[in-house]
A and B are shown apart, each in its own frame.
Chain A
Amino acid sequence: MAIDKKMKILIVDDFSTMRRIIKNLLRDLGFTNTEEADDGNTALPMLQTGKFDFLVTDWNMPGMQGIDLLKNVRADAKLASMPVLMVTAEQKREQIVEAAQAGVNGYIVKPFTAQTLKEKLDKIFERIDG
């Protein structure tokens, strides 16, 4: 099944530069329908409107951190099945394991390449389709 390039993606990062980078990379890959939020507290109500199909989030943010946002998403019956890709500078093994246990669908460490983002997205969609 082809990936729906029209899907709505929420990009959550406290740094606007990183949000712009991810937004532009996604646009390059054909995903033009994106919105941004600067931490979990802003992101969660946006997600709860039910408008989004995919979540890309940082971990370390003021307010609600990415890992807590992920846990909240998984705990919300309406959002539980939403694919979540984490893009973060946190690279402790225990953190990666924690994210995996919390139900993350992909984990990218910064600094990353456009190719890595593409691969992880492809992999996530492959799994969803399969």
Chain B
Amino acid sequence: MEQQNNLLSPESIAMVKQLLVSMEDGDLEKAQDYVDDLAEVRENVMYQEIGKLTRELHDSMNNFALDDRLSDLAEDEIPDARQRLAHVITMTEEAANNTLAAVEESLPLCDDVLTTTQSVEDEWKRFSNRELTLTEFKTLSETLKIYFETNSNNASKINANLTQVLMAQGFQDLTSQIIKRVITLVEEVETNMVSIIQLAGSKSKDTDVKKNKNENYLDGPVVPGLESSGTVSGQDEVDDLLSSLGF
């Protein structure tokens, strides 16, 4: 150690020897001076060490405070993440409701197709067996006309509902993009926590915290209520922007 080295330096040893000589000579004043000099050597070493520690602490605190990424995380990104996750809940809920609504509307339509088919089928069998009177045949042909119309309507409604179910599944892509972003954020918070612990626990040597966002970072879906400057709010604005570019 530096302190011991200084204390054991030839200069210090010479001082001690001179101290001993002056004490044997009974020269109190000189002896006192040597004791003071020796004490000064020790104090200097101690002050240097304290100074060094103070500087390190100061630098560490400064680095810590200047790390914008940390305050960004705490002030903006964590609340952002909360809102993103809340949006995921909204989107999954909407998808589930849209799907359920389409299914609930379609099931009675299918039942309708089934029951009308069955009733027409009975009459049709009688017609095939030539059991129908002319009046009954006229009724059947009227029934069939309605049956065709109804079923064609039902089929297109069911088709539209199935398309609605299909479109509702888009939530999986969009929510995954949002959740992936939150996972990245959690990883970054973890890395920063580790370096805070290093800083608090010992003299941190490893300050290579991942500070900057990934270069390849894309914004992904816009989350309502979150700041999203420079974004369009929907397909209409995309169309307007593109037509302003001559599209």
Contacts and interface: CB of A to CB of B under 8 A. Distances in A.
A associates with B: yes
Interface in A88-107: 89-94, 96-97, 100, 107
A89 B221 contact: yes
Interface stretch (A3-11, A19-27, A34-42, A46-54): A19-27
A28 interface: yes
A39 to B, nearest CB: 13
A96 B238 contact: yes
Interface string B217-247: 0111110000000111111001001100101
B242 A107 contact: yes
Given A60-B220, A93-B230, A93-B241, A21 B166 contact: yes
Contacts of B245: 97, 100
Nearest to B245: A100
Interface residues of A, number: 30
B241 A28 contact: no
B222 A91 contact: yes
B90 interface: no
B170 interface: yes
B84 to A, nearest CB: 13
A23 to B, nearest CB: 10
A107 B15 CA distance: 87
Contacts of A65: 216, 218
A18 B177 CA distance: 12
B163 interface: yes
Given A60-B218, A89-B220, A91-B232, A113 B167 contact: yes
Contacts of A113: 167
Given A21-B166, A96-B232, A112-B170, 7 more contacts: A24-B166, A25-B163, A90-B220, A91-B232, A94-B230, A110-B174, A111-B170
The 10 closest A-B pairs by CB, nearest first: A15-B173, A89-B221, A17-B172, A18-B173, A60-B218, A91-B231, A91-B232, A100-B245, A111-B170, A93-B230
Interface of A: 13, 15, 17-18, 20-21, 24-25, 28, 59-60, 65, 89-94, 96-97, 100, 107-114, 116
5 contacts: A89-B174, A91-B219, A92-B230, A96-B242, A114-B167
